Amino acid sequence: MRPVASRMASMSGEGALSVFARAKELERQGRSIIHLELGEPDFHPATPVLDAAKNALDDGKDRYCPVQGVPALREEIAIYLNRTRGLKVSADNVVIAPGCKIALFFALMALLEPGDEVLYPDPGFPGYASITLGLGGVPVFFELAERNRLQPDPDEVAAKITPRTKILITNSPGNPTGTVYTDAVQRRLAELAVKHDLLVLSDEIYARIIYGRNYLSMLKYPGMEERALIIDGFSKSFAMTGWRLGYTVAPAHIVPALNMLTVNSYTCVAEFTQYAAVEALRDTSGATPRMVNEFAKRREQFVRDLNRVPGFRCVPPEGAFYAWVNIAGTGMTAEQVSHIMLEDAGVAAIAGAAFGPAGKDFVRFSFASSTATLQEAVERIMKISAAWQGTLAGR
């Protein structure tokens, strides 16, 4: 048998998906599992969004459609980014994609030469390093360390820039830490990008899921218009994970390359989902703020409860819906703790190294579940925490 291409060996999967697979297997064996591993809102799109999809289908909007995305959606995204982020972007700069992940993939594919370096946050979304490697690029991490309150350290980023650095990836609010980059950090990162002529890939998928503050997009900073690409989408802010809808806002000279990749792959995103997405952005029923309010309540309860578990330490995240828990105090590795939680307590969460080496002492829990479910999860963890309390006592 002929082997698959060697580049495949440089890519990696996602920890969340392998934990999910094991959790599902345990469920098939009759076990009760609380799923806190996936980054998926437990909401569904609002009724007007579903109606818009149905109406679009009734109107025959099930054909091939414009490669870059239907104009109505691209125009609505420009209006939406102005309303929610104060950005002035043109519909001509918006490219619709079937999900943020493919938008990210295509942006990197359009921009990277083999050997180009990409700066990305560690811990961070696993795709950043994996896609870069798959395209022959070189991922170079900058750390989100507890000593910096999980913020990027612009001095570290500056020290890691070389003549081969081409792209700086930012992700605020971030997965898995929930960090919302400060204005000062973003300003310095933008200055570095201008000084060293870097492109910035700003993954803003969690921009709407933010607690008690206004969102600052990277595109707002001086010099970003010609060098920053925003990646955003509908999976998280509009609870539309399975619809596979995302978009890139790119400088004009990059848009044709993204369109070329679209022509050579999926041709266009399903037409009727794009019309439903227009309705999601308008959000006439206020679904997104309602969902975020609910996440805020869960965050407060869940973080408070997790901090009661012996050996756990968690700072409330400023955005997204993940609790990033330092488990070093258990005396066990994050892999051991998550293994015990899943196998003995039926609570699925992810050992932090799945998000990069800097995550090794952490476990990520998604709190996109009801307050009752989250309460039960912590009760179950409390019961089995004797496993590591024994370790602590024995030291």
Ligand X SMILES: Cc1ncc(COP(=O)(O)O)c(C=O)c1O
Q: Which of 105, 125, 142, 365 binds ligand X (CB under 6 A)?
A: 125
- In the complex, what is the shortest distance from the CB of residue 99 to ligand X, in angstroms, rounded to a whole number? 3
Q: End-to-end CA distance of the chain, in Å?
A: 52
Q: Do 391 and 331 contact (CB within 8 A), yes or no?
A: yes
Residue 183 Cβ vs ligand X, minimum distance, rounded to whole Å: 20
Q: How far is the CB of 203 from ligand X (least distance, A)?
A: 5
Give the residue with the Cβ less far from ligand X, 202 or 385. Answer: 202
Q: Which of 42, 76, 122, 203 binds ligand X (CB under 6 A)?
A: 203
In the complex with ligand X, the residue whose CB is nearer, 175 or 385, is: 175
CB nearer to ligand X: give 240 or 334: 240
Piece of the chain touching ligand X by CB under 6 A; list 98-106, 139-147, 328-336, 359-367: 98-106
Helices (H), 66-212: 71-85, 100-111, 127-134, 154-160, 183-195
Q: Amino acid identity, residue 66?
A: P
Nearest to 95 by CA among 70, 120, 119: 70
182 contributes a contact to ligand X by CB under 6 A:
no
Task: Point out which span in 20-28, 80-88, 95-103, 363-371 binds ligand X (CB under 6 A).
Answer: 95-103
Asked if 101 is part of the footprint of ligand X (rule: CB under 6 A), the reply reads: yes
Assess 233 for contact with ligand X (CB under 6 A).
Answer: yes
Name the residue nearer to ligand X (CB basis): 210 or 378.
210
Q: Mark out the alpha helices in the chain (DSSP H runs).
A: 15-28, 47-58, 71-85, 100-111, 127-134, 154-160, 183-195, 255-263, 271-282, 287-306, 334-345, 371-384, 386-393
Instruction: Look up residue 90 and give its amino acid.
Output: S
Residue bearing tokens 């266009």: 268
Residues that bind ligand X (CB under 6 A): 39, 99-101, 125, 171, 175, 203, 205, 233, 235, 241, 246
